[in-house]
Amino acid sequence: MEHISELVKESKASLFHSDEPEIPSSKARLRLIEAMSAETFSLNFSGDTLPVAEDLMAYFRNDPAFRGNLSKGILLYGPPGRGKSTLMRIFMNARLRPFRHVSCPDMALRMFNGDMDDFLRFGIGAHAQPASVLFDDLGAEIDVNHYGSKISPMEQILQTRYSLSTKGLAKTHFTTNLNPEQLAQRYGEKGLSRLQGMCNIIPYGQNSSDFRSQNPYPSNP
């Protein structure tokens, strides 16, 4: 693990702290991501996950090599357990494009218990203090009662975040297990349209296995 630790140290200095960061080669970008993820999460990139990992490295360095739209946020969708959240959290403190993290299910549960802080800070109140945010696990949140009315917290937030996006005030990122068709069913065609307007919609892990189900210990005979 010593070589990984050294590479992590170098990669963090390059990606997160350098005033004039060099844009690394494609192979170097991948090695940086793998090293940072291996430090704590042991992600492995292959198939359709490898080019996405490289693309995200380019995106968070504001590198024109990114194949999507640099003025939009990121929405990663795919089956559970492929490392979407883990991969995005690696870039939270990227120098050029830092962002905050909010778990959609946790926020909705706190709202259910009367805690509106995250909802007001990053949703309805986001006009006052715009900040780039990753809304993690979109679609897994519960609907909540607010002053006697049942509301979908993320449906409300999508409206506000879209407004911030159109004004160029903040980027909004998402991870979700729902594909675009399922997102339209959950949030309506207007909700999907807002997501498409403010995010690069990127499939991830469609052909890879659930890393959370991988057991390093052999089964008993």
pLDDT tens digits, residue range 46-101? 667 878 888 888 899 899 989 999 999 999 999 998 889 988 988 888 888 889 89
pLDDT of residue 120 exceeding 70, the answer is no
Burial 36-58 (b: 16+ CB within 10 A, else e): bbbbeeebebeebbeebbbbbbb
Residue with more model confidence, 119 or 138: 138
pLDDT of residue 141 exceeding 80, the answer is yes
Token digits of residue 188: 């309506």
Tell me the pLDDT tens digit for each residue of 1-32: 343 344 344 445 555 555 444 545 555 555 56
Which residue, among 76, 87, 73, has the nearest Cα to 29 in the 3D structure?
87
pLDDT of residue 209 exceeding 60, the answer is no
Residue with more model confidence, 128 or 74: 74
pLDDT at 15: 56
Domain boundaries, the chain: 2-208
Q: Range with the lowest mean pLDDT among 11-15, 115-119, 133-137, 204-208?
A: 11-15
Q: How many CB atoms lie within 10 A of CB 1?
A: 8
pLDDT of residue 215 exceeding 80, the answer is no
Taking CA atoms, 112 is separated from 67, 140, 146, in Å, by: 39, 14, 8
Question: Interhelix angle for 26-40 vs 2-12, to 10°?
Answer: 120
Tell me the pLDDT tens digit for each residue of 147-206: 667 778 888 889 888 988 888 888 999 999 999 999 999 999 999 999 999 999 999 977
* Residue 178 Rama label (left phi>0; alpha psi -120 to 50; beta): beta
- For domain 2-208, give the CATH number: 3.40.50.300
